[in-house]
Amino acid sequence: MKTPFPSYLQRFQRVLRHIDEHLGEGLGLDVLAGVAAFSPHHFHRQFTALLGVPPGRYVQLVRLKRATWRLAFRDAPVLEVALDSGYQGPEAFTRAFRQQTGQSPSAFRRQPDWAAWQAGYRPVSDIRRNFMTDAFAPVRVIDAPDIPVAVLEHRGDPATLGDSVRSFIQWRRAAGLAPRLSATYNIFHDDPDQTDPADFRLDICAAAARVPANDLGVRAGIIPGGRCAVLRHVGTDEGFGAAIRHLYADWLPSSGQDLRDFPLYCQRVAFFPDVPEHEAITDIFLPLK
């Protein structure tokens, strides 16, 4: 496929962002075609040809992703999640959710089948990775302080990371350390694209002065202070890898800086599903000597 002209591509990027911003509103063909400034008939054909899925199916998948995150990581009632996903009631929502994930919403909330969900969501993930790229923010160099943290180590397939996140949320709630009170961090020991899934390592952290004994495997740790390059990534997790590659491949070789012996880490400043995916904010820290 030939690369579309930038102005043509921007019209569809505008549609994708409009969908993220208005998931709880009407997103019919006429509305989306108007955002793109195409006729509805041609817009449907153009969207499907360029992105690989019909616009209605794309909207459904994005809404269902937000629903899965709210079911897995938040306490919203199923009826509220159904209505916010554009369904008139829980029955229609349950049918669509089961067709997509193989589980009912209640079963998913109890024990998510992440592999089935990720397989069904892959078309949207590919669209976001390929078509929702933004310019990188300027890189800053700062002196970061030592950060005492509570740490839950995730070891194993990245596809099961959601289970570790759920355990960490359970610990945070019991400890009274909501994200608004305690900053959230991830420490990236491995690149999921370059590591065997069984060997993948990532630490889920929250700022905490002390960590009481617990049965969830959460321990006390520290993110050591020092000089860091910081890149703010605003957008979906699909663009996260490109931001990290920019730090390593573009910024670092031209900076004259050397790396410190500590893994790359990030602070989740504002995260989905509490904000729309394209408004999620993540500060990426590259430790420097």
The CATH number given to whatever domain includes residue 279 is 3.20.80.10
How many other β-carbons are positioned within 10 Å of the β-carbon of residue 215? Answer: 7
Mean pLDDT of 134-147: 93
Q: Of the candidates 79, 114, 131, which is a domain's last residue? A: 131
Nearest to 59 by CA among 85, 37, 33: 85
Q: Of the candidates 96, 131, 166, which is a domain's last residue? A: 131
Task: For residue 1, tell me if it sits in a domain.
Answer: no
Q: Do 201 and 67 have their domain in common?
A: no
Per-residue pLDDT tens for 21-59? Answer: 888 888 999 999 999 999 998 999 999 999 999 999 999
pLDDT band at residue 176 using 50, 70 and 90 as cut-offs = very high
Q: Give the domain extent around 53.
A: 6-131
Q: Do 96 and 167 have their domain in common?
A: no
User: pTM for this structure?
Assistant: 0.90
Task: For residue 109, tell me if it sits in a domain.
Answer: yes
Q: Of the candidates 91, 108, 131, which is a domain's last residue? A: 131
**128/108 Cα distance (integer angstroms):** 24
Q: Do 171 and 273 have their domain in common?
A: yes
Q: Do 189 and 66 have their domain in common?
A: no
What is the number of domains present in the chain?
Answer: 2
Residue 89 has pLDDT above 50, yes or no: yes
Q: Do 223 and 121 have their domain in common?
A: no
How many other β-carbons are positioned within 10 Å of the β-carbon of residue 114? Answer: 19
What pLDDT score does 238 carry? 86
Residue 226 has pLDDT above 50, yes or no: yes
Q: Do 146 and 110 have their domain in common?
A: no
Q: Do 200 and 172 have their domain in common?
A: yes
Q: Do 163 and 268 have their domain in common?
A: yes
Q: Do 248 and 266 have their domain in common?
A: yes
Residue 16 has pLDDT above 90, yes or no: yes
Is residue 273 reached through a cis peptide bond, with omega within 30 degrees of 0 on the bond before it?
Answer: yes
**80/97 Cα distance (integer angstroms):** 14
- Residue pair 32/15 in contact by the 8 Å Cβ criterion: yes
